[in-house]
Amino acid sequence: MKIETARTPAFLLTGFLGSGKTTLLNAALRVPAMANTAVVVNELGDIGLDNLIIAQATDNVVLLDAGCLCCANTGALHETLADLVGRRARGEIPPFRRVIIETSGVADPAPLLNVLLGHPLVTGSYALEATVCVVDAQHFLASRKEYPELDKQAAVAERIVITKKDLANAAPVLAFLKELNPEAVLFDSVVDLFSTGLKNVKHQTPISSLGPIRNREHFSGIRAFSFRPRSPIGWSGWAAWSHLVKSEFGARLIRVKGLLQMADTGDIAFVQGVQGVFHPPQRMPEWPDADHGNRLVCIARDLREADIAATLPALNAAPGTQARYTLKELQQRQAQQ
Flag whether pLDDT at 112 surpasses 70: yes
Express each pLDDT in 296-330 by its tens digit.
999 888 899 999 999 999 998 877 776 677 777 77
Q: Which residues make up the CATH 3.30.1220.10 domain(s) of the chain?
A: 222-336
Mean pLDDT over each residue of the chain, to the nearest integer: 80
Q: How much is the average pLDDT of 182-194?
A: 87
Flag whether pLDDT at 153 surpasses 80: yes
Flag whether pLDDT at 224 surpasses 70: yes
Topology, domain 222-336: Hypothetical Protein Yjia; Chain: A;domain 2 (3.30.1220)
The bridge status of strand 277-284 relative to strand 253-261 is unpaired
Half-sphere exposure of 292 (CA within 13 A, CB side): 5
| DSSP 8-state symbol, 15 | E
pLDDT, position 105:
80
pLDDT, position 196:
83
Express each pLDDT in 30-54 by its tens digit.
888 888 888 887 654 443 434 433 4
pLDDT, position 330:
73
pLDDT, position 210:
63
Crossing angle for the helix pair 327-336 and 235-249, nearest 10 degrees?
130
Q: Is residue 144 within 8 Å of residue 106, measured between CB atoms?
A: no
pTM, two decimals, is 0.79
Let me know if 199 is exposed, middle or buried by CB neighbors in 10 A (0-12, 13-18, 19+).
exposed
Task: Give dist(CA 102, CA 106) in Å, integer.
Answer: 12
The bridge status of strand 126-136 relative to strand 185-187 is unpaired
Flag whether pLDDT at 12 surpasses 90: yes
Q: Is residue 155 within 8 Å of residue 254, measured between CB atoms?
A: yes
Flag whether pLDDT at 1 surpasses 50: no
Q: For 8-209, CATH number?
A: 3.40.50.300
Q: How much is the average pLDDT of 264-291?
A: 88
